[in-house]
Amino acid sequence: MAEHVRVVEVSPRDGLQNEAAFVATADKLELIRRLAASGLRSIEATAFVSPKWVPQMADAAELFPQLPRDDGRRYPVLVPNLQGYERAVACGVREVAVFTAASEAFTRKNINAGIEESLQRFEPVLERARADGVAVRGYVSTVLGCPYQGAVPVSDVVRVAARLHAMGCYEISLGDTIGVGTAGAARAMLQAVAGDIPMAALAVHFHDTYGQALANVFACLEAGVRTVDASVSGTGGCPYAKGASGNLATEDLVYALHGLGFDTGIDLATLVETGSWLSAKLGRDSLSKANRALHA
């Protein structure tokens, strides 16, 4: 039987958070419905962050209760603090993701706190989540470079990832927030983190600014990772990471994974249609190469 790679779809959150024009809640729900129909089983649905900081996610509490409760899928949401956690759980959320970074400067810009302060903020979130039976994922951003600090030492990535894991995050997603990494650096970073955390508890999250995301994923698959984040149509970017472009397009990832003989449970044709639908809604061409090839 083919080996499975878990794809975590982040377009409803990472893909849309940077859009200037507000995407209607009904359209976000339709996107999630289509993503689910393509076979994706983990779909990051929204973020319970401050609406002043990220206006595009201001409808989180309206959107989440309209998602199916018992379709066997996971719909994690971002929470930056206990306030976000409480808002999320009140809406029926069963999985959250906390997020910090390996670079002090980016963390301050993104969540108005230093790395240590952010980790301390997460302690009560993890404590409550444990008591509530809510799963917690942890993100480490700027793992291969920071828009403000520049180079980021691998030892800082390892330290922050290990703290999140020790705190109780079941999985740590390693984010190249501004897409500056190349394959050798990505592999070395992953292997260093895997020295402290089991590979099975690691995921990779590449933005595609320099067109390196798929090469980076390949290097990390070779090193043993089996969970990859991606965003349909190559949407995405962080409003507080200057120069960040979209994520790796899920269609391109799935095409590559199937070509490598991995099973994903995802139907590429349905996914490509979903990407075309989203691009039409956003009024621009898809950034997915697989989409362009299949529509040529």
Active site residues: 238
Position among 42, 46, 103, 110 found at the interface with ligand HMG (CB under 6 A): 110
- The reply on whether position 112 binds ligand HMG by CB under 6 A is yes
- The reply on whether position 181 binds ligand HMG by CB under 6 A is no
DSSP H or E segment with residue 31: helix 25-37
| CA distances, 133 to each of 47, 100, 118, 240 (Å) | 19, 22, 22, 31
Q: Which is nearer to Mg ion, 235 or 291 (CB)?
A: 235
- The reply on whether position 50 binds ligand HMG by CB under 6 A is yes
Q: Which of 55, 219, 205 is nearest to 143 (CA)?
A: 205
Q: Which partner from the list ligand HMG, Mg ion, none does 99 bind, CB cut-off 5 to 8 Å by kind? A: ligand HMG
Position among 9, 14, 104, 251 found at the interface with Mg ion (CB under 5 A): 14
Q: CA 204: distance to chain centroid?
A: 9
- The reply on whether position 11 binds ligand HMG by CB under 6 A is no
- DSSP annotation of 66 reads G
Q: What angle do CA 174, 160, 195 make, to 5 degrees?
A: 75
Stretch that binds ligand HMG, among 75-83, 218-226, 272-280, 284-292 (CB under 6 A): 75-83
Residues 206-245 as x/- pattern, contact with ligand HMG by CB under 6 A: -x------------------------------x-x-----
Q: Which is nearer to ligand HMG, 90 or 293 (CB)?
A: 90
- The reply on whether position 141 binds ligand HMG by CB under 6 A is yes
CB of 52 to ligand HMG, least distance (A): 6
- Neighbour-count burial of 1, counting CB atoms closer than 10 A to its CB (0-12 exposed, 13-18 middle, 19+ buried): exposed
Position among 29, 32, 40, 49 found at the interface with ligand HMG (CB under 6 A): 49
Q: Which is nearer to ligand HMG, 138 or 276 (CB)?
A: 138
Number of Cβ within a 10 Å radius of residue 151: 10
CB of 61 to Mg ion, least distance (A): 22
HSE-CB at 207 with a 13 A cutoff on CA atoms is 25
Q: Which partner from the list Mg ion, ligand HMG, none does 275 bind, CB cut-off 5 to 8 Å by kind? A: none
Q: How many helices (H) and strands (E) does the chain have?
A: 12, 9
Query: What CA–CA distance (Å, rounded) separates 200 from 191?
Result: 12
Q: Are 208 and 234 in contact (CB under 8 A)?
A: yes
Identity of the amino acid at 270: T
- The reply on whether position 106 binds ligand HMG by CB under 6 A is no
Residues in Cβ contact with 219 at an 8 Å cutoff, skipping those fewer than 6 apart: 183, 184, 186, 187, 190
Query: What CA–CA distance (Å, rounded) separates 172 from 158?
Result: 11
Instruction: Provide the binding-site residues for Mg ion, judged by CB under 5 A.
Output: 14
Instruction: Provide the binding-site residues for ligand HMG, judged by CB under 6 A.
Output: 14, 17, 47-50, 53-54, 78, 80-81, 83-84, 87, 99, 110-112, 139, 141, 175, 177, 205, 207, 238, 240
